[in-house]
Amino acid sequence: MIFDNIPTAMEQARAGTVRPLAVTGLERTPTLPDVPAMAEFFPGFDITSWQGLLAPAGTPPAIVEKLSTEVQRIMRLPEVRARIEPLGAKPIGSTAAEFAAYITTEKAKYKPIVEASGATAQ
């Protein structure tokens, strides 16, 4: 058994070399519509991977806004969505403030798990 990202496991699933049991987001993914979401069995279960663009602390707000605006624009392009969505990923392109809030909620979600594990940064 393995928890993997959809883009890396999807081709094996399609080839029949692995059998997906569930996806770990709140909803089924259009890429694997017959695979249930864990939340269907465990309401509220939501463990997904994400990627984002971050700038160094102290980057001027105008630069952050320009980067954010361009990423949002790019994520809406049909040709970009056509490349990303079939991989099982969901292009979002949120604002800098929305992404910062998301990171804060993700940190809060995983903090008790990390603390309970006893893991420490090295």
Q: Does residue 122 sit in helix, strand or coil?
A: coil
Say how far apart CA 52 and CA 58 lie, in whole Å: 18
Q: Comparing C-alpha atoms, which of 26, 17, 14 is closest to residue 90? A: 26
- What integer pLDDT is reported at residue 7 of this predicted model? 82
Q: What is the mean pLDDT of residues 1-9?
A: 82
Question: What's the token pair of residue 65?
Answer: 């806004």
- What integer pLDDT is reported at residue 54 of this predicted model? 93
Q: What would the pLDDT profile of 12-42 be if each residue is shown by its tens digit?
A: 888 889 899 999 989 998 888 999 999 999 9
Q: Tell me how crowded residue 87 is: count the other CB atoms within 10 A of its CB.
A: 14
- What integer pLDDT is reported at residue 30 of this predicted model? 87
Q: What would the pLDDT profile of 64-78 be if each residue is shown by its tens digit?
A: 999 999 999 999 999
Q: What would the pLDDT profile of 81-96 be if each residue is shown by its tens digit?
A: 999 988 888 899 899 9
Q: Does residue 29 sit in helix, strand or coil?
A: coil
DSSP state of 91: -
- What integer pLDDT is reported at residue 68 of this predicted model? 94
Domain boundaries, the chain: 1-49
Q: What would the pLDDT profile of 43-63 be if each residue is shown by its tens digit?
A: 999 998 889 999 999 999 999
Q: Is the pLDDT of residue 99 over 90?
A: yes
Q: Comparing C-alpha atoms, which of 5, 35, 33, 8 is closest to residue 20? A: 35
CATH class of the domain whose range is 1-49: alpha beta
